[in-house]
Amino acid sequence: MTVTLPKQKPIRSAPHKLGFWQNFRERTPLGWLQLRKNKGRLFVAVAGIGFADLLMFAQLGIQAALFESNTLLIQNLNADIILRSSQYRDLSLANTFPRRRLYQIQDVPGVAIADALYINNVVWKNPETRRKTQLTLVGQEVNQQVFDLPGLDLTTLKQLTQPDTFLFDRLARGQYANVVAQVAQGKTVSAEIDRRSIQVVGLFPLGASFATDGTLITSQENFLRFFPNRGAGQVTLGLIDLEPEANIDQVLHQIQAKLPLDTLATTKQEFLNLEQAYWAETTPIGLLFGFGTAMAFVVGIVIVFQILSTDVNDHLAEYATFKAMGYGNRYLFFIVIEEAMILALLGFVPGLALALGQYALIRSAASLPIGMTFARFWFVFFLTLVMCMTSGMIALRKVQAADPADIF
């Protein structure tokens, strides 16, 4: 007689003998359970990480706004190649070069237009508050659309042929609501630059920078009236437009070969990179913001390490029990790393929310082009993960060295 035995279910292996990923998927979320047990400690950890993230977002955001605001003028230029003095440092202290250099390169094949641009800083008196501030004054050729900005069409620029007429930056930093409203309605607003009366006849959007509170645009003739000691031959920048079929690299090479040592020629992008490199590398500002980001990162490591270290000490007996049961250091490693990753996720959310509010406040109060970018979002999130994982690694050393015999 044949007896059929009931099919037996396969006996599962001990968790520590399962495969790596199977063990990871089927494990109990002890890290989350341990964090949730002490809600006060969890709140402190999340607040600390959120604060560290807020600091990193602030440092990186303000640094980016510094670079962006100080290059707004260059970014909106309609030019393929830009000429500058060999002594040029940045727009706030830009040396001039002779205007005849523009005439010397006009016969280079591929060059369509070679215009002069005059730039200097002036003291402007706010028509509303009567307070003095510094603005960037730009003198341009009114028959050319030098800037790619709304409101700067040829019809608007023609108004600048009248003496002492100017266009005002509607995004300037300060209290200019009434000025902007009146000019937008077609009215002319009287103002004052260096104790000289002017007429604001139009608007354009650009924005403030760290150096000045805004920009004024006028004709080359009006610009030179404010600087009698500066002749028309002293040009700040040369703007070169090329023929549609011209090869920019070939034309640039020919221009560079024709210019003497007192004048340099670069593409617009190279000139933009030069301006950003000055603020990032030559001035201490870039270094300070980088140091501030590093300090926020270190503060976050210290905060998370203190939380995780305290948690490890509180559960050292449990970890020793796991080791006595045969669980290896890798299993305990996942518990601590799980806590670190959960803290990173929970702390990043409030840090991000506060950073968005902070950016909005800075845009409103300081009129700076600051905002959240995709790259900065992921960079700070990556730093947060590294920050918490590093802290977890340090806190884990005590677990790895724990001997069940010593604890029990």
pLDDT band for 140, please (50, 70, 90 cuts).
very high
The pLDDT assigned to 305 comes to 83
pLDDT at 276: 85
The per-residue pLDDT for 216 is 94
User: What residues does each domain of the chain span?
Assistant: 21-68+285-407, 87-260
Find where tokens 């902070």 sit: 358
Give the confidence band of 31 by pLDDT, cuts at 50, 70, 90: low
Residue 249's pLDDT is 92
Query: What interhelical angle do 374-401 and 329-366 show, nearest 10?
Result: 150
Name the average pLDDT for the chain: 84
Q: Looking at residue 230, what is its pLDDT?
A: 84
pLDDT recorded at residue 13? 44
Map tokens 């706004």 to a residue.
Answer: 65
Which one has a higher pLDDT value, 257 or 21?
257
Tell me the mean pLDDT in the region 279-304: 82
pLDDT at 91 over 60: yes
| 243 vs 401, higher pLDDT | 243
Name every residue whose Cβ is closer than 8 Å to that of residue 114 and which is 6 or more positions away in sequence. 102, 103, 105, 106, 238, 239, 240, 241
Q: Please state, in angstroms and rounded to a whole number, the distance separating the CA atoms of residues 404 and 396.
A: 16
What is the percentage of the chain residues whose pLDDT exceeds 70? 89
- Residue 75 confidence (pLDDT) above 60: yes
pLDDT digits (tens, 9 = 90+) for 314-327: 777 777 777 777 77
Q: Model confidence at 10, in pLDDT bands (50, 70, 90)?
A: very low
Residue with tokens 């009129």: 367
Q: Looking at residue 11, what is its pLDDT? A: 41
- φ/ψ (deg, to 5) at 182: -65, -45
User: 254 pLDDT exceeds 90?
Assistant: yes
CA angle 242-85-72, nearest 5°?
Answer: 65
Q: Which residue bears the tokens 């995780």?
A: 308
pLDDT of 139: 94
pLDDT tens figures, 141-195: 999 889 988 888 888 899 999 999 999 999 988 888 888 899 899 889 999 988 8
Identify the band that residue 5 occupies on the pLDDT scale cut at 50, 70 and 90.
very low
HSE-up (13 A, CA, CB side) for residue 102: 24
Can you tell me the distance from the alpha carbon of 332 to that of 124, in angstroms, rounded to the nearest whole number? 66
Lowest model confidence (mean pLDDT) among 16-30, 247-261, 306-320: 16-30
Question: Which pLDDT belongs to residue 227?
Answer: 85
| 339 vs 2, higher pLDDT | 339
Q: What is the mean pLDDT of residues 234-262?
A: 92
Q: Which of 132, 213, 129 is nearest to 168 (CA)?
A: 213
Average pLDDT rounded to a whole number, residues 33-52: 82
**Which of the given ranges, 1-10, 26-35, 109-118, 385-394, has the highest pLDDT on average?**
109-118
Residues forming beta bridges with residue 196, ordered by sequence position: 193
pLDDT of residue 323: 72
* Radius of gyration in angstroms for the set of CA atoms belonging to the chain, rounded to a whole number: 32
Give the residue, 262 or 398, on which the prediction is more confident: 262
pLDDT of residue 4: 47
pLDDT at 403: 62
CA distance 252 to 356: 42
Q: With beta carbons less than 8 A apart as the criterion, state whether 160 and 219 touch.
A: yes
- Cα separation, 244 vs 251, in Å, equals 12
Strand pairing partners for 81? Answer: 240, 267
